[in-house]
Amino acid sequence: MKTVVALFVITIVMYSIYYDLTIGTLPTSSASSVFSKDEWVSPMPSEFKEDWDIPSDPYTLIEIKRGDTVISILEELQQAPLPVSIDQLLIDFKKLNEGIKPEQIQIGKRYKFPIYQ
């Protein structure tokens, strides 16, 4: 009897691990208006830039998916080597996202990513 119970418990634990790794247990945003990488947000008009503390660089809004990092997303956007250093990239990301650190991004949320010309 103990063997059957132990086998049942092991099966439940293994299934839980499998489910967590493949599907996940954290809720994700199911909003229907998700910005794609092709929807660019233009910078603020120049007459307002001096009144606001908003970076003048163009950016795009992207929803974070499992496995995304700031660097991987920017490399995918550029489809070429990044034209700036990683330090500058991290500084620009923090400016656009009100001081949020790149390591604090969360799955399902949208963040502004700088576009480099």
pLDDT in tens, 28-57: 444 333 444 444 444 444 444 444 444 456
| CB neighbours of residue 88 within 10 Å | 13
- In the chain, where does DSSP find H-type helix? 2-22, 46-49, 70-78, 86-96
Q: Is residue 103 part of a domain?
A: yes
pLDDT, position 29:
45
Statement: residue 64 has pLDDT above 90: yes
On the CB side of 39, CA atoms within 13 Å amount to 9
Total domain count, the chain: 1
Q: Is residue 63 part of a domain?
A: yes
Q: Is residue 83 part of a domain?
A: yes
CATH number for 71: 3.10.350
Structural domain that includes position 44:
28-114
Note the maximum CA span of the chain. Answer: 78
| CB neighbours of residue 51 within 10 Å | 8
Q: Is residue 49 part of a domain?
A: yes
pTM, two decimal places = 0.51
pLDDT-based confidence at residue 26 (cuts at 50, 70, 90): low
